[in-house]
Structure 1
Amino acid sequence: MDIVLAMRVFARVVETKSFTRAAETMDLTRGRVTVIVQSLEAHLKARLLQRTTRSLNLTADGAAYYERCVRVLADLDDIENSFLGKERSPRGRLRVDMPGALGRVIVMPALSDFHARYPDIDLMLGLGDKPLDLVQEGIDCVVRIGTLQDSSLVARRVGIYQGVTVASPGYLEQSGTPQTLEELADHQTVNYYWGRTGRIMPLTFDVDGKAVEVRMRGPIAVNDAEAYLSGALKGLGIVQGARFLALPHLESGALVEILSQWKPLPLPISAVYPHNRHLSATVRAFVDWIAELFRNDPRLSSTPETDARCGPVSVDAQDGDALDLDGDEEQPIA
């Protein structure tokens, strides 16, 4: 029996809470995973998992063995990377998830550069905003916008999200240009709602360092960032979206920024991955690459002013701070 493989398979079964999901994420058959775990239990002469038709739980021996497995496997990866890292480029499958608009507008156009740098990485890029269980779904890294809460995930800030309040010239000509936040009560918006909860997102403004929320009336609501901005382009009202999406339309004159003295608070963009897994060479390569990509893009890069307004940000993953991605916190439009 390959004891290292057995430890990896057992750990993945525990983390995914499923023999089937563990098999899918490791490119093994379910039968093979079952045999490996059974052989490991026979080798150790201990029951590690308590199986029923509806649940899969660790025994006391299994919990103790899992904790040691995680440490041993991380040490093995460290040893291997210290010897092979200088001679072998990152390789293997890498599964990443990020907000759709951010992926389509910023990341996808630059993926040829990523492939040229790392030809041996097979990147699977998912575009979406729904909360994900990284371990159970076999996702190596996600990119998310907003403040993240403490948990078992690690985050590294890779960019700054900047919002902008805009409307079309036609709408402003017909309805007037608001000069204060109070005047927004006389205007119309295209509302954005969160797909999971149906909650309408308010407009937010930075007033003397504090976030002020304004709720506006609007007969139309969407849950897609690009459709949301399209509503403003069609003259349906005032919206507050991502600057990286609005910038081409601001430059062409199709949209006009308003209330610029009260900009939305900037928010961190973070690359997030599981805390209980060693940072693999493929994940590190992607996180370093996307941090460089965002740093060199003026639509997402930080400045001393935006850093100060952004408040506390995620630390580099090597520092070990854990941040949450599994809670119900809703993220900005991107």
Structure 2
Amino acid sequence: MFDGRLLNGVSVLAAVVEGGSFVRAAEALGLSPSGVSRAIARLEARINVRLLERTTRSVRLTDEGARFYAQVVPLLGGIEEAATNAAGAMQSVRGRLRINVDPYFSRLVLGPRLGTFMDRYPELQIEIFTRNEIGDLIADGMDVAVRFGEPPQTSLIARQLMQTRVITVAAPAYIERHGRPKTPADVARHSCIFYQDPRTGRAFEWELRRGKKVVELETHSRILVNDAGTTLATCLAGLGIAQVFLIGLREYLDSGQLVDLFPDWPDELFPLYAFYPSRQHVPAKVRAFIDFCVEITG
């Protein structure tokens, strides 16, 4: 088992040998000479070896102490190098970044722009896992997660990245066959594509918002999906009306592949959050990824 006191004693021994005296070692370590002496005594008792010969004028290693010191000095150097590398990883965007991402965000927002992020940080390796639920970020070995919706009760740090509009859309093919609802009440006479709330297992309720006015929609559906890609595909195929996030769909609206049915009801918003384990010592790779998400969703 790792003994931190043993490592501390070895560090004090190295300072004594390098400084040539207890006084110089004490100055280098910010200790008193008596504190240095006690640390050496504890180390000698711990390993049951006399390491230093002490006189009123000098301190020198015993033969056993010299052999011990020759063995541990390279180990101290390795520990220092490891600490330096770890500190560098906290400041440099490199290594492996494991991301737990909402499927919708991954497919329509992050995926098409990921090349820019990777070109920006060539020493970074990316692992993306698309899941409907955030799960246990720490147990799953994830560095960061991105999710829509209000944060659940969790010990994770949550940072809101943006808010996106919820829009009600249909494909021209659907409108041609079934007509376009002119008022919110008309939605009750149309086929809808329901999306499953992963937290409850039930379909999300539909509503429209304009300022402080909120209208709950009566809806009917023969299709329930739990994947944003399927929602988009079935809507584009003309199978029904869908409520989706505006983020990632602008090109479909601009090209006419989808029609915003109620552009005068623009105020239903849904937040996007990044989650990570701790506010302290956030790795540079996590900070860089979160900043990039803000950039591509702004």
TM-score using structure 2 length = 0.64
The CA distance in 2 between the partners of 1:81 and 1:287, in whole Å, is: 23
Say if 2:210 is the partner of 1:185: no
Say if 2:139 is the partner of 1:111: no
Shift of 1:153: 1.5
Contact 2:164 2:271 in 1 (8 A): yes
The CA distance in 2 between the partners of 1:2 and 1:92, in whole Å, is: 29
SS, match of residue 110 in structure 1: helix
Say if 2:275 is the partner of 1:263: no
The CA distance in 2 between the partners of 1:188 and 1:231, in whole Å, is: 12
| Alpha-carbon displacement from aligned partner over 1:161-200 (angstroms, at most 9, x marks no partner) | 2222111223223333222212222222122223564301
> How well do the aligned residues superpose, as a CA RMSD in angstroms?
3.0
Say if 2:130 is the partner of 1:127: yes
Q: 1:278 pairs with 266, 281, 284, which one?
A: 281
Say if 2:227 is the partner of 1:224: yes
The CA distance in 2 between the partners of 1:126 and 1:270, in whole Å, is: 16
Say if 2:94 is the partner of 1:91: yes
The aligned counterpart of 1:171 is: 174
The CA distance in 2 between the partners of 1:211 and 1:131, in whole Å, is: 29
Q: 1:254 pairs with 257, 265, 282, which one?
A: 257
Shift of 1:224: 1.4
Say if 2:137 is the partner of 1:148: no
Contact 2:134 2:147 in 1 (8 A): no
TM-score using structure 1 length = 0.58
Shift of 1:238: 1.4
Change in 2 beyond 3 A, CA 1:198/1:270 = closer
Contact 2:163 2:271 in 1 (8 A): yes
Write the letter of the residue equivalent to 1:161: T
The aligned counterpart of 2:209 is: 206
Structure 2 residues without counterparts, runs of 5 or longer:
6-45, 47-82
The CA distance in 2 between the partners of 1:173 and 1:118, in whole Å, is: 47
Listed as ranges, the matches of 1:39-50 within 5 Å are none
The CA distance in 2 between the partners of 1:116 and 1:245, in whole Å, is: 21
Contact 2:192 2:221 in 1 (8 A): yes
Structure 1 residues without counterparts, runs of 5 or longer:
5-42, 44-78, 295-300, 302-334
The CA distance in 2 between the partners of 1:163 and 1:185, in whole Å, is: 18
Change in 2 beyond 3 A, CA 1:283/1:190 = same
The aligned counterpart of 1:242 is: 245
| Equivalent pairs, count | 221
Shift of 1:219: 1.5
Shift of 1:240: 1.0
| Alpha-carbon displacement from aligned partner over 1:51-95 (angstroms, at most 9, x marks no partner) | xxxxxxxxxxxxxxxxxxxxxxxxxxxx96997589x63222221
